[in-house]
Structure 1
């Protein structure tokens, strides 16, 4: 049974009381525009100057959740003891004045998230970042960030480890060169930057010049572990080929050949001529690029590969000893059996596996794949019904013969997150395929003692029998289940009642588009949850 609602702690109740009365009492004397605009705001000592960092963060979050937060209230909570500040949920409250107060009061910030704060002018953003030398993590995605802001980060944020500049439409390919190199001092910068997110840039910046800018950054920033952009694989392949003649790098910056030579010299004593990058994660990799990616990035722990119809995924292309997270998506639907050689080779070391666009042509392929990957912690699968000669197979209408004793034992003792989606709802899954898939699911739920999150969407069989079998006495399954999402599932109200009365830790139950549950049954379900004071959120639409 989900946990019952408990009495809130005295600390939480006190913070809620403070949040409820801030507007009329706590900051009554300094909520005027003149206070915010005057320089004396930096010296004001108020009731929140003695609150611990964690309490200040919690108070800001409480005000945001209750929609009570205003610019004056926010500014009163910007205190020197803050080490982390996330304003992404209230971007309309963040202005030039706000960032000025942050810059003069919050010198100890190690993490700052300004995602979507588009009202901050670029010069104000640059001035703010120029005064925050302790930053380790910075998210300024979807802001007015421009070249001057990246130049400031390069010069002032030497400790930065993670940067998100996705969706910043004012950046050009040349802007990224200023992040990695200071042309005034002729020196490389941001030596400790490990993670760089730069998706969703203005279409004008996505072209050949941007690919060369990516090559520049990959060569100039030695600590980069992850760069998120859909052209990174292309840039890595250019580094593998070491043919930089077509690069258009401004004269005040070092050439790609010079940067490559500097990187190559670091390995010359070890007898290596191939350029090596420190990347451990790379996404959007065409399968044809895998050999070059493997040669340049031998320490990859995570990769997302895109398969095309005429190119197979050869397991010989993946000798990475460190690979633990693998995502494979198909441009066109492919037979899951084509991936089994890969999972047989890499399966024992995988902790995360996500598959999209595969069809279950052979009814036993899913079981075989599971047997290859005994150490999975997260498993995400979106599958299609089998096809023959381009046409969907017709479903078999024979009765299903259910024999619980024949269930295969698929034990994934470390699995904590499972998502199973039938994305081909217009084409039925043949009877034998459905039976074996259901058996696999029951076995997984029975023998995954650490499962915390479960999502089952549009599965072509009733989940009533599944949960009734899994939860049958002695009832030792799903004990740690916290989140259950059943989208377009064949499940009835009695089964939901069984889940809510069984031993588990359910805090979130999603029943979206479950046609077997009526609005009346949903209302009755909410009444019982409230009556028993269960601490679980139930949604249905």
Structure 2
């Protein structure tokens, strides 16, 4: 076909040794400045550059709107699934992925497809192509494609039985889609249906083996027929199916239930019916755990009767019976291994090695770094009366009932908690409950996100409880005042790799000065492992620039920037203090002690030398500081100086012209 001969007809000139395309940017960087692009990366860049002018152009001109192909044979069929996925991601990141390019990249060997960054391309016609051409897909992300009706989603998923991961965030997903998933996607491990407002909590029950139809026993046509293409199959759906092997279920901000208690009852049902669940984001999780721990299953009888599913007590008993059988089998296996070791003179594998090999896949779920958690020791020997859940990552919590959550889920190492504050911000009684609740995971919690509309200082007791083991901390919606101090937060969390604080600035009439401003730089705490730092303050859009009066914040910034030599992402937005002078002083810092984990040559690590992404919106930075940053940070790819009033259009244009770094200004 002419479509795939176009490159050969151009002559196919070979690249000369020692020459590389200029647009690949910093491909001549040394190992000190950053990694050199591999031949694989350079090839994909070249392929992406030629997609539009060669293959996409020919396909668009001759085939796109004239024919409908079940498969398109060509050079992309010769690429491995990993290369096609990388090429698709590269085109997405460059905003070069078009409908024609996507048609060419839907090859049978494709295992992963993410269109989250370009939801406008997701149409019913494209979904038909995906279901027809990519039936071996393992991962699919269509998040944000709001134009797809639930019928089309069901038809698409009906043809993708090999899916392990599925994201339908913000789409028109409803109970019919969930039924199709439960019936057809029997290998699914990860499901994200957050912000699907057409989906009620009760609509999730088929995932755990819940009924497809109501308790009346007479399924209507609208209930059981999920799509035209699969109406025959859906009409023969059994009343229930076995639970999916889900290890991750994200369903925050979905539609409301009939009753206020529906989210709690639905969460309790799914926690009991999905034994492999380790990552969950649902409303009412902590109350559901309290219901399960106290065995108050009758509170959900109305919900289970209305939804036509088994009562919680029955589901709980079945779960206990299955775990009892599993424990008995494991004890027998342990006995067999021990006897084998005795017969062979102790040279066989130990029981711990046997168990670690069988649980290797579980410990890797969703990339959670839980290798150092202490929950394994807590749950090694359980009595018959003990019942625990395997949850490790939980989102959508409130500060209520964390004690029940701690007893029922001792293995949690990542959580997101919301704390309401309708009382005096100095009172802190709710935050005290949060601190008490976090003690259950003290020393093992690695990721913590807190939404708290109160003063940041009130959160310090909770951070002192959990901070020693944290590698990621997110504080959202917090307030600052004349009493706010950030340095104790840094001291409480010395192992942080990611720090995000989204706060309201202090009242503009306050002049905030603390004794910490007088400290010697040598006494300031450091975060030597920090890779991502975000400090973002809210502001009025009518203001040209934020009121800059919180002078002690400069000390915190200097502490974070000089004490974090591994920093790669930096976002400082609308700071209520001067930033330009602080950045200049940090950039002039030369002698910094080598980091213990650095690739060592003994040379000192320079602050901001490894940064790749910088966001300095609504700050007082000047173009001189930006140029100094460009000169010192050889890995820098992106700089955002939007609404920086000290930088003029002409200065930005001149700096942008002479640099390969993407510089945004508005």
Query: Is TM-score (shorter-chain normalized) higher than 0.5?
Result: yes
Give per-residue Cα distances to partners, 1:110-137, cap 9 Å, x unaligned: 1112223345454443343233232111
Residue 249 of structure 2: aligned partner: 196
Assess if the C-alpha contact under 8 Å between 1:393 and 1:428 holds in 2: no
Q: Residue 408 and residue 386 in structure 1: after superposition, are their counterparts in 2 closer, same or farther (change >3 A)?
A: farther
Q: Which residue of 1 aligns with 2:414?
A: 302
* 1:345 Cα deviation after fit: 2.7
In the superposition, the TM-score normalised over structure 1's length comes to 0.84
Distance 1:206 1:168, change over 3 A: farther
**2:636 aligns to what?**
506
Q: Look up the match of 1:276.
A: 388
Pair 1:245 & 2:364 matched: no
Within the candidate set 306, 325, 328, 2:450 is matched to: 328
Shift of 1:89: 4.3
- Shift in Å at residue 480 of structure 1? 0.6
**1:345 is aligned to 2:400:** no
Q: Shift of residue 45 of structure 1?
A: 3.3
Question: Structure 1 stretch 79-88 or stretch 128-137: which is displaced more?
Answer: 128-137
> SS in structure 2 opposite 1:440?
helix
Q: Determine which of 280, 287, 290 is the counterpart of 1:227.
A: 280
Structure number with the bigger relative contact order (C-alpha 8 A, sep ≥ 6) is 1
Partners of 2:26 and 2:633 in 1: CA distance:
16
| Residues in 2 aligned to 1:540 and 1:496: alpha-carbon distance in whole angstroms | 12
| Deviates further, 98-107 or 203-212 | 203-212
Structure 2: unaligned runs, 5 residues or longer: 1-23, 29-40, 212-237, 328-381, 424-428, 592-605
Give how far 1:464 is off. 2.4
Q: Is 1:313 the counterpart of 2:432 in the alignment?
A: yes
121-130 vs 344-353, which moves further: 121-130
Q: 1:497 to 1:267 in 2, by over 3 A?
A: same
Residue 434 in structure 1 maps to residue 551 in structure 2: yes
1:540 and 1:200 map into 2 onto residues whose CA distance is: 34
**Following the alignment from structure 2 to structure 1, what is the Cα–Cα distance between the partners of residues 295 and 45?**
58
Aligned to 1:160: 188
> CA offset at residue 93 of structure 1?
4.3
Q: Residue in 1 aligned with 2:662?
A: 537
Aligned residue number for residue 645 of structure 2: 515
Distance 2:430 2:71 in 1: 65
2:534 to 419, 425, 428: 419
Which of 112, 127, 131 pairs up with 2:140?
Answer: 112
Q: Does 1:454 align with 2:575?
A: no
The CA deviation at 1:26 is 4.5
What is the aligned counterpart of 2:46 among 13, 23, 36?
13
Identify which of 112, 115, 131 aligns with 1:87.
115
Seen in structure 2, the aligned counterparts of structure 1 residues 232 and 273 have a Cα distance that, compared at 3 Å, is same
**Structure 1 portions without partners, runs of 5+:** none
Evaluate the alpha carbon distance shift between residue 153 and residue 407 of structure 1 in structure 2; reply closer, same or farther with a 3 A threshold. Answer: same
Q: 1:265 to 1:485 in 2, by over 3 A?
A: same
Once residues 67 and 504 of structure 1 are traced to their aligned partners in structure 2, the CA distance between those partners, rounded to angstroms, is: 26
Deviation at residue 539 of structure 1 after TM alignment: 1.1
2:651 aligns to what SS in structure 1?
helix
Pick one of 243, 250, 254 that aligns with 2:310. 254
Could you tell me how far 1:340 is from its partner in structure 2? 2.9
What residue number does 1:291 align with? 403
Q: Which has the higher strand share?
A: 1
